[in-house]
Amino acid sequence: MALSLTRSLGTTAALLALLAVRAGAWTDDPLRPGTTRIRAVHLVEIGQAVNARLGSCGFPRTAVPAPGARVRAADFNAARAAVKALYAAYGRQAPIFTGGDPLPPGVPVRAAHLAEIRAAVDASSHWTCLNCASDGSCSAPAPACGQTTTGVDNCGNSCSADGAPCAAKQPDCDGTVDCKGVCNGPAVVDNFGNCCESRSNFTSWGACCHSPGIIDGKGECCYGTAGYPGSGVSDSNGNCCVGYLDPKGHCCLVFNSSGRCPGF
* Residues 225 and 121 occupy one common structural domain: no
What percent of the chain lies above the pLDDT cut of 70?
A: 83
199 secondary structure, DSSP code: G
Residue at which a domain ends, from 126, 141, 156: 126
Reduced 3-state DSSP string for 23-59: CCCCCCCCCCCCCCECCHHHHHHHHHHHHHHHHHCCC
pLDDT band at 89 (very low <50, low <70, confident <90, very high): confident
What is the predicted pLDDT for the residue at 227? 60
How far apart are the C-alpha atoms of 139 and 119, rounded to whole Å?
29
Of 45-54, 64-73, 157-166, 190-199, the poorest mean pLDDT is in: 64-73
Q: How many domains does the chain have?
A: 2
Full domain range(s) for residue 20: 13-126
Domain assignment present for residue 122? The answer is yes
Check pLDDT > 70 for residue 7.
Answer: no
Domain assignment present for residue 107? The answer is yes
Domain assignment present for residue 183? The answer is no
Maximum Cα–Cα distance across the chain: 85
Cis bond before residue 65 (omega within 30° of 0): no
How far apart are the C-alpha atoms of 18 and 117, rounded to whole Å?
10
- Mean pLDDT for the chain overall: 78
Coil/strand/helix, residue 151: strand
What is the predicted pLDDT for the residue at 11? 27
What is the predicted pLDDT for the residue at 171? 59
Domain assignment present for residue 194? The answer is no
pLDDT band at 102 (very low <50, low <70, confident <90, very high): confident
Domain assignment present for residue 71? The answer is yes
Residue at which a domain ends, from 110, 126, 142: 126
Domain assignment present for residue 26? The answer is yes
pLDDT band at 80 (very low <50, low <70, confident <90, very high): very high
pLDDT band at 84 (very low <50, low <70, confident <90, very high): very high
Q: In this predicted model, what pLDDT tens digit does every residue of 214-223 receive, in sequence order?
A: 888 788 888 7
Helices (H), the chain: 13-19, 40-56, 73-89, 111-123
Helix (H) or strand (E) holding 132: none
pLDDT band at 163 (very low <50, low <70, confident <90, very high): confident
Check pLDDT > 60 for residue 20.
Answer: no
Higher pLDDT pick, 131 / 198: 198
Q: What is each CA distance from 225 to 68, 215, 219, 243, 249, in whole angstroms? A: 50, 15, 18, 7, 17
What is the predicted pLDDT for the residue at 226? 62
Ramachandran bin of 253, using left for φ above 0, alpha for ψ from -120 to 50, beta for the remaining angles: alpha
Residue at which a domain ends, from 82, 98, 126: 126
User: Region 233-245: what's the mean pLDDT?
Assistant: 80
Phi first, then psi: what are they for 12, rounded to 5°?
Answer: -65, 150
Domain assignment present for residue 131? The answer is no
pLDDT band at 15 (very low <50, low <70, confident <90, very high): very low
Domain assignment present for residue 59? The answer is yes
How far apart are the C-alpha atoms of 53 and 156, rounded to whole Å?
10
